Amino acid sequence: DIMFRLSTGALRRRLFSTTSTVIKYEEFGVPSKVLKRESQNLPSLGANQVLVRMLAAPINPADLNSIYGTYGQRKVPAVAGNEGVAVVQSVGAGVKDLKANDWVIPAKPGFGTWRTFAVADSSALQRVPNDIPVEYAATLAVNPCTAYRMLNDFVNLKEGDVII
């Protein structure tokens, strides 16, 4: 996986942004040809929604295959990125399970993590510890599952075996 951190200098000055820079695609194809950077207006915050600022999002094979159109059932246009970690900036009046400064990850694939900010239903996000490195938090949803699946499908582990 390649990890990129979103620039924080300008973001700190605009914590409650009304726009987000996104990396999106409107058709499937070669990432270098179909990915576009653009600014999008954020919708107003609804009662059960949260505003998040992305901290980090990995670039992994599943993301590239989604852009090629060979992975998952994603529809276009779409914001790229399936996993990442964000910090909650503000919450709607009806949100009880999240608060400002909580770290969150998408609860399901297809969130579109290659962006600076997002407004999402609180149910689309899952809180994670904020005392771990941001790189670990950004990959919590996919990498452990992939490792488990690879070990379960291709390795005959026995009691006492050690995995590094």
Residues assigned a catalytic role:
71
End-to-end CA distance of the chain: 17
In eight-state DSSP terms, residue 42 is: P
CB count in 10 Å sphere of residue 47: 10
**77: cis peptide before it, omega within 30°?**
yes
Residues 6+ apart with CB under 8 A from 131: none
**61: cis peptide before it, omega within 30°?**
no
